[in-house]
Amino acid sequence: MPEEDNIPKPERIPFFQRLLENTFLLLFIGVAMPTVFYILWGIMEIATIPVAE
Protein backbone atom coordinates (compact mmCIF):
# COMPACT_ATOMS: atom_id res chain seq x y z
CA MET A 1 0.00 0.00 0.00
CA PRO A 2 1.51 3.37 -0.93
CA GLU A 3 2.57 5.40 2.08
CA GLU A 4 0.45 8.46 1.19
CA ASP A 5 -2.74 6.36 1.50
CA ASN A 6 -2.07 6.08 5.23
CA ILE A 7 -1.97 9.84 5.75
CA PRO A 8 -5.40 10.93 6.97
CA LYS A 9 -6.99 13.46 4.65
CA PRO A 10 -8.08 16.72 6.31
CA GLU A 11 -11.81 16.81 6.97
CA ARG A 12 -13.65 18.66 4.23
CA ILE A 13 -15.29 21.81 5.61
CA PRO A 14 -18.89 22.09 4.39
CA PHE A 15 -19.71 25.00 2.08
CA PHE A 16 -22.11 26.61 4.53
CA GLN A 17 -19.52 26.58 7.29
CA ARG A 18 -16.94 28.08 4.95
CA LEU A 19 -19.43 30.82 4.11
CA LEU A 20 -20.10 31.59 7.77
CA GLU A 21 -16.37 31.70 8.53
CA ASN A 22 -15.55 34.08 5.70
CA THR A 23 -16.06 37.35 7.53
CA PHE A 24 -15.21 39.56 4.60
CA LEU A 25 -17.53 37.72 2.23
CA LEU A 26 -20.29 38.16 4.81
CA LEU A 27 -19.36 41.84 5.03
CA PHE A 28 -19.71 42.16 1.27
CA ILE A 29 -23.07 40.36 1.22
CA GLY A 30 -24.32 42.28 4.26
CA VAL A 31 -23.56 45.62 2.63
CA ALA A 32 -24.58 44.64 -0.92
CA MET A 33 -28.04 43.30 -0.02
CA PRO A 34 -29.50 46.46 1.54
CA THR A 35 -27.57 48.68 -0.87
CA VAL A 36 -29.22 46.99 -3.86
CA PHE A 37 -32.70 46.20 -2.54
CA TYR A 38 -33.22 49.19 -0.27
CA ILE A 39 -31.00 52.09 -1.35
CA LEU A 40 -30.48 51.67 -5.11
CA TRP A 41 -33.96 50.35 -5.86
CA GLY A 42 -35.41 53.14 -3.70
CA ILE A 43 -33.37 55.80 -5.50
CA MET A 44 -34.48 54.41 -8.86
CA GLU A 45 -38.09 54.70 -7.74
CA ILE A 46 -37.60 58.36 -6.84
CA ALA A 47 -35.62 59.11 -9.97
CA THR A 48 -38.42 57.80 -12.16
CA ILE A 49 -41.10 60.03 -10.61
CA PRO A 50 -42.15 62.44 -13.39
CA VAL A 51 -41.25 66.05 -12.72
CA ALA A 52 -44.29 68.35 -12.34
CA GLU A 53 -44.74 70.88 -15.11
Partner 1 sequence: MAQFRVCPDSGFYFDKSAESLMKVNAIAGAVSLLIAGILAIGVILTRWQEVHLLPADLFYQALTGHGINALIFWIIFFEIAILYFASSTLLRTRLAAPKWAWLGFILMVVGAVMNNVAVAQGNSSVMMTSYAPMQAEPHFYLGLILFAVGALIGVFVFFGTLVIAKDDQTYEGSVPLVTFGAITAAIIAVFTIASGAVILVPTFLWSIGYINHIDAEMYRIIWWGLGHSSQQINVAAHVSVWYLLAGILFGARPMSEKVSRTAFLLYILFLQLACAHHILVDPGISSEWKVFNTSYAMYLAVLASMIHGLTVPGAMEVAQREKGLTKGLFEWLRKAPWGNPVFSGFFFSLVIFGFIGGITGVVMGTEQINLIIHNTIYVPAHFHATVAVGTTLAFMALTYLLIPVLFRRSLFLPWVAKMQPYVFSAGMTIMILFMLGAGTLGVSRRHWDMDFTGAALSFEYPGTAYMMMAVGGIGGVLGILGGAMYLLVTVGSLVFGKKLEPSAGLFQSFGVPLSSGSYNIQQPERLPMAPKLAVEQHGSAGFEAPGTFVLAMALLVSFVVYYFINWDYLASVWPLS
Nearer to partner 1, 2 or 23 (CB): 23
Q: How far apart are CA 45 and CA 39, in angstroms?
A: 10
CB of 40 to partner 1, least distance (A): 10
Sites of contact with partner 1 (CB under 8 A): 17, 19-21, 23-24, 26-27, 29-31, 33-35, 37-39, 41-43, 45-46, 49
Nearer to partner 1, 7 or 16 (CB): 16
DSSP for 23-42 reads HHHHHHHHHHHHIIIIIIHH
